[in-house]
Amino acid sequence: MEPFAPRWRGVFGFWRRPKMENQSDHESRLHRIRHSAAHVMAQAVLEQFPEGKLGIGPPIQDGFYYDFDLPRPLTPADLETIKTRMQEIIQEDHPFELQDVSPEEARRLNADQPYKLELIDKLAAGEVDEDDEPMEEEVIISTYRHGTFRDLCRGPHVASTGELDPDAIHLLSTAGAYWRGDESRPMLQRIYGTAWETPGELQVHLERLEEARKRDHRRLGKQLELFSLEPDLLGGGLVLWHPKGGMLRYLAESFCKEEHIKAGYDLVYSPHIGRAALWETSGHLDFYRESMYSPMDVDGQDYYVRPMNCPFHILIYNSRRRSYRELPLRLAEWGTVYRYERPGVLHGLLRVRGFTQDDAHHICSPEQMPEEISFVLDFCLHILRSFGFEDLTAYLSTMPEKRVGEKPQWDAAQIALQEVLEKSGLEYKVDEGAGAFYGPKIDLNIRDALNREWQCSTIQFDFNLPERFDMEYMGEDGQPHRPYMIHRAILGSLERFLGILIEFYGGAFPVWLAPVQVVLIPITDKQLNYCWEISKKLKAAGLRVEVDDARDRMGNKIRKAQEQKTPYMLIVGKREVEAGAVSVRLRTGEDLKARPVDEFLAMPQSVIEARSKELIL
């Protein structure tokens, strides 16, 4: 089971294609602007580094980049210089000129550009397209020229550099990037930029980036005291959940577990380590070793910390003879696993080395399989929607070259997966050949604050482990049969899911998930006793309540509760005590004025009941 797989696709643009993708006019104009900005930037860079070599420079979402092989690392000051020169080039208003060239001509024009020559060779040979897949049609090599700069390019561009708005372009950062994305090739310097039609649009985009930084779960995790990472003392990628984050996690977990039980899952528990023999049988030591931690010696035997839960669940299944009458069996566990991840890939809660999966294994007969798939996708969507996630991207990964299992099995499984996706109405993409060697799968991705996609849910067939562990059930015919096994995780990794949840809500959780739902704020400490009294009452009604008894002014207490994004602030002064009321202030800033305590109590209760994002229903 593999819950991780952010998807990034490089765009590789240097030849013309007969058909344009379906883009709105605005998008396609932005596309041309960004592509043109990349060329203008490349000219500016080459002027500063005449010996520089060009990689590729495509438009991307929100902007563009260009890769260069330069004699020295770029500094932030270089970016300033480059940007200034870009503005000049724009003002010089050079027209973009398209010219089709023969491969020979293209080679002659790029004689001192080794990376471009490599592209021309590939292109001339008609070998591959941008996804390294065989070309379907004959390509026409084309170049675009503006001023002194000519680049191999399929376009399209704006008519002239003067069409760009120099104040709507900004260079964001530099980064290393392998040539053609290949770890064994040279690392080039990439400059990322963003470009828009107007300075106003650029401004909005920069503000959006700033907003995203404020929603960053690492920042909010500290501010809201949800979790911490202590790489120096504890180790990288290992998470400490603090009381507030612990409550959030408990709430998410207990909600999910109840739903699992209602839906017909059995909850199981299994240990964190197992003997080498287990991992040999499962094949992990052969295929997954580089992600596993070194064994520990126990009485002369090797034991491994688990990177996955599946073998344990299979042992539970195999502990006795199974009948077709007990299928489908749905074994679920919040299983903590540990995987070695390369140091450079760790990222807050989103990519860690120790995490807990809401893992389950469905074991069913081949006949039950389509219905089981349908059930599991529905259940998945039910859970994700309960947390407020509606914007999901689904991927169907199909049969790869190297695989186990027979083609008919794969076909049946893929058809079942595709059918439930169709039925669900989700938009999905098919990733041909991207399935694991042991079976096809559906992944559901959600986005973080910076619009990066992260995989959460995964529904995977496994034709491998049932064989390896010789799983069987007794059929109606009195003969042993091999069951189908489906792995699935819905939240995926609790750590990652909560990280995304934090960003999704910017820390202002729905009331049912808020670690603290109500803060009582006395205006003077003469109201403290009354506050404690109310607090007791609200707690008895099941709310999570705090009394701010600090020696501080009310204004500052409100400010702090606001910063903690506490949904309800109850302000209590002399008037409220006399009236047996509380003054209700919402974290939205709305002041609901004084209300009887019982009237207030009904407010969060109905909101929690509905798991609503609102504070009042």
Partner RNA sequence: GCCUACAUAGCUCAGCUGGUAGAGCACGCCCUUGGUAAGGGCGAGGUCAUGGGUUCAAAUCCCAUUGUAGGCUCCA
Q: Which of residues 367-406 bind RNA (CB under 7 A)?
A: none
Secondary structure of 354-400 in HEC code, one letter for each residue: EEEEEEEEEEECHHHHHHHHHHHHHHHHHHHHHCCCCCCEEEEECCC
Beta carbon of residue 175, minimum distance to RNA (angstroms, whole number):
3
- The single-letter DSSP state of residue 249 is H
- The single-letter DSSP state of residue 96 is P
Other beta carbons less than 10 A from residue 568's beta carbon: 27
Other beta carbons less than 10 A from residue 527's beta carbon: 20
Nearest Cα to Cα of residue 341 among 299, 378, 288: 288
User: Which of 63/166 has CB closer to RNA?
Assistant: 63
To the query of whether residue 361 is one of the catalytic residues in this protein, the response is: yes
Beta carbon of residue 250, minimum distance to RNA (angstroms, whole number):
24
Give the per-residue contact string, 86-125, with RNA (x = CB under 7 A; - = no). ----------------------------------------
User: Which of 325/551 has CB closer to RNA?
Assistant: 551
Binding RNA (rule: CB under 7 A), the pick from 117, 135, 175, 430 is 175
User: Which of 536/574 has CB closer to RNA?
Assistant: 574
Q: Which of residues 32-61 bind RNA (CB under 7 A)?
A: none
Helix axes 369-386, 243-263, angle to 10 degrees: 150
Beta strand 581-586 pairing with 301-305: unpaired
Q: Which of residues 324-363 bind RNA (CB under 7 A)?
A: 341-348, 351
Q: Does 187 bind RNA (CB under 7 A)?
A: yes
E strand residue ranges, 565-607: 568-572, 581-586, 591-596
Total number of residues binding RNA (CB under 7 A)?
A: 79
Q: Does 6 bind RNA (CB under 7 A)?
A: yes
- Active-site pick, 153, 310, 380, 531: 310
Q: Is 213 helix (H, G, I), strand (E, B) or coil?
A: helix
- Active-site pick, 218, 249, 313, 339: 339
Helix axes 528-540, 597-609, angle to 10 degrees: 40
Nearest Cα to Cα of residue 323 among 194, 483, 497: 483
- Active-site pick, 189, 357, 414, 517: 357
Instruction: Choose one: 18-26, 32-40, 230-238, 259-267; the region binding RNA (CB under 7 A).
Output: 230-238
Q: Does 231 bind RNA (CB under 7 A)?
A: yes
- Active-site pick, 487, 488, 496, 585: 487
Residue type, 482: R
Indicate the burial class of 262 (C-beta count within 10 angstroms; 0-12, 13-18, 19 or more): exposed
User: Which of 138/210 has CB closer to RNA?
Assistant: 210
To the query of whether residue 359 is one of the catalytic residues in this protein, the response is: yes
Q: Which of residues 266-285 bind RNA (CB under 7 A)?
A: 283-284
Beta carbon of residue 152, minimum distance to RNA (angstroms, whole number):
20
To the query of whether residue 284 is one of the catalytic residues in this protein, the response is: no
Q: Which of residues 444-503 bind RNA (CB under 7 A)?
A: 450, 452
To the query of whether residue 299 is one of the catalytic residues in this protein, the response is: no
Binding RNA (rule: CB under 7 A), the pick from 181, 366, 433, 596 is 181
Bridge partners, 481 (sequence order): 473
Binding RNA (rule: CB under 7 A), the pick from 222, 275, 447, 611 is 222
Beta carbon of residue 7, minimum distance to RNA (angstroms, whole number):
7
Instruction: Choose one: 124-132, 314-322, 370-378, 432-440; the region binding RNA (CB under 7 A).
Output: 432-440
Binding RNA (rule: CB under 7 A), the pick from 31, 39, 53, 190 is 190
The DSSP result for 441-486, as a single string, is: EEEEEEE-TTS-EEEEEEEEEESSHHHHTT--EE-TTSSEEPPEEE
Q: Is 344 helix (H, G, I), strand (E, B) or coil?
A: helix
User: Which of 2/163 has CB closer to RNA?
Assistant: 2
Beta carbon of residue 272, minimum distance to RNA (angstroms, whole number):
16
What is the torsional sign of CA 474, 475, 476, 478? negative
Q: Which of residues 578-617 bind RNA (CB under 7 A)?
A: 583, 585, 589, 591, 593-594
Beta carbon of residue 160, minimum distance to RNA (angstroms, whole number):
30
- Active-site pick, 361, 403, 585, 587: 361
Beta carbon of residue 494, minimum distance to RNA (angstroms, whole number):
16
Q: Which two tokens stand for residue 513?
A: 């998930």
- Active-site pick, 165, 358, 359, 462: 359
User: Which of 134/589 has CB closer to RNA?
Assistant: 589
Q: Which of residues 523-562 bind RNA (CB under 7 A)?
A: 523-526, 550-556, 558-559, 562
Q: Which of residues 132-171 bind RNA (CB under 7 A)?
A: none
- The single-letter DSSP state of residue 169 is E
Binding RNA (rule: CB under 7 A), the pick from 73, 134, 300, 408 is 73
Indicate the burial class of 167 (C-beta count within 10 angstroms; 0-12, 13-18, 19 or more): middle
Nearest Cα to Cα of residue 225 among 545, 454, 566, 459: 566
Instruction: Choose one: 34-42, 298-306, 317-325, 574-582; the region binding RNA (CB under 7 A).
Output: 574-582
To the query of whether residue 526 is one of the catalytic residues in this protein, the response is: no
To the query of whether residue 94 is one of the catalytic residues in this protein, the response is: no
Beta carbon of residue 381, minimum distance to RNA (angstroms, whole number):
23
- Active-site pick, 217, 218, 353, 441: 441
What is the torsional sign of CA 43, 45, 50, 52? negative
Do 527 and 520 touch, CB atoms closer than 8 A?
A: no
Beta carbon of residue 24, minimum distance to RNA (angstroms, whole number):
25
The DSSP result for 536-576, as a single string, is: HHHHHTT--EEE--SSS-HHHHHHHHHHTT-SEEEEE-HHH
SS3 breakdown of the chain: % helix, strand, coil, rounded to 5?
40, 25, 35
Q: How many residues appear in the chain?
A: 617
Other beta carbons less than 10 A from residue 562's beta carbon: 15
Beta carbon of residue 106, minimum distance to RNA (angstroms, whole number):
25
To the query of whether residue 441 is one of the catalytic residues in this protein, the response is: yes
Beta carbon of residue 505, minimum distance to RNA (angstroms, whole number):
15
Beta strand 187-195 pairing with 169-178: antiparallel
User: Which of 67/165 has CB closer to RNA?
Assistant: 67
Instruction: Choose one: 3-11, 114-122, 477-485, 489-497; the region binding RNA (CB under 7 A).
Output: 3-11
User: Which residues are known catalytic residues?
Assistant: 310, 339, 357, 359, 361, 441, 487
